[in-house]
Homo-oligomer: A and B are copies of this chain.
């Protein structure tokens, strides 16, 4: 096989991978939006076949041979192809270690688990979900051994989501946050709280839907390439850089919930839509890592979306969408309300300051579950104990406790820390952005163009052309979590007059 043939082979293989992914994504999107309730079985069979095909493709000896050929002739490759070879080799190496039957059975399991979790959450019945979760944990412990038998199992999984990240790194990262943020949260807790009652007036879903359309405009999300749907748990899904979907969930007694979901998922979508089309249909398409992805979503949601200039810029338009509900509210009161920091039960609705404690709780539980020091049946008890310990809260039921997130039902163990890392990356990016240009002037006029242009240049456009570490380096410089703690300290000192 010569280089040209090898390149053709990997191009075709990547196109197939794209197609199998697109197919699975479409089945998933259907499942969580419009599919009738009792239809998981057939979809499970389809997803399992697709996973098997993907597995077969990545473990095909011809692909391995093509990668060998290309690695031997590395010098001839441009960056685009060199990176494809690198990423494909990584996928091949991992998958080759998972037997095909296990890989397919796992695909079927996560599909079932998604369905069971939905029902368990609805009925707040952990026992219903427990058998699924036990199987998911067992598989992930096993897979971790396949990925890297020399690493502790949880470290091997962490490495899947954010390369180079391990328990030691995260323990020290969270230690910095704990050291700086716990006293800050305590100080905030001693100050009077802003009024948030107006956020819980009646906001009809239909009015909120129109408001979402407006927010998508503000984020400059082209509706010909970016759709919005409604699901239990908001998410972003990308087929290509020309076809991205976000979802949200409307609560008629909570304006901020969907508003900030849309901005958060809109940040993910912004990233996907801005990736250079030259990587389309390859393994380099889409955002480079979970951590970098969350840095973008949380940048738009918190750093921009909850900033005073942004709210001042859009508030009069907001009043037009909700004339009765917001008649007696000012931009200043709205800004204070959406930044109210206070321990709460639901991660996705937590404020920017206490959010990391939610992540730390999940991190500790995952670490123990995968490490083998916590049994699945003890998850609710441990969850509730940690919420009491870290946030001083009694968890009233599992729906608002350990069943609240979809991640574990989708088989993601090791993902949660990315949220905290992403938040920290974002704060450091802001510092660099402020050094490079006037950030807040345009934002105060409701113009996110310059912010998006900076992020596109430093982060979005690359997709997987650079490694996650290279992207972080490009946008942040040497990573330092104190940028994040400084940012929060400054913001909450102003908000609460500390």
Contacts and interface: CB of A to CB of B under 8 A. Distances in A.
A170 interface: no
Contacts of A243: 35-36, 39, 42-43
Interface stretch (A149-157, A218-226, A254-262, A399-407): A218-226
A433 interface: no
10 contacts: A15-B49, A16-B49, A16-B53, A19-B46, A19-B50, A22-B27, A30-B30, A39-B225, A42-B239, A42-B243
Q: Size band of the A side of the interface?
A: 35 or more
A107 to B, nearest CB: 11
A105 interface: no
Interface string A43-86: 10111111001000000000000000000000000000000000
Interface string A304-316: 0000000000000
A18 B33 CA distance: 22
Given A23-B26, A242-B41, A18 B46 contact: yes
Nearest to A26: B26
Most buried by B among A19, A37, A45: A19
A224 B23 contact: no
B49 A224 contact: no
Q: 9 tightest A-B contacts by CB?
A: A19-B49, A23-B23, A42-B240, A39-B243, A22-B46, A38-B224, A26-B26, A19-B46, A37-B224
Contacts of A225: 36, 38-39
A327 interface: no
B242 A39 contact: yes
Interface string A268-281: 00000000000011
Contacts of A49: 15-16, 18-19
A4 to B, nearest CB: 20
A168 interface: no
Nearest to A243: B39
Given A36-B243, A42-B280, A43-B243, 14 more contacts: A16-B49, A18-B45, A19-B47, A23-B26, A23-B27, A23-B50, A30-B30, A33-B34, A34-B227, A34-B229, A36-B225, A36-B226, A37-B223, A42-B240
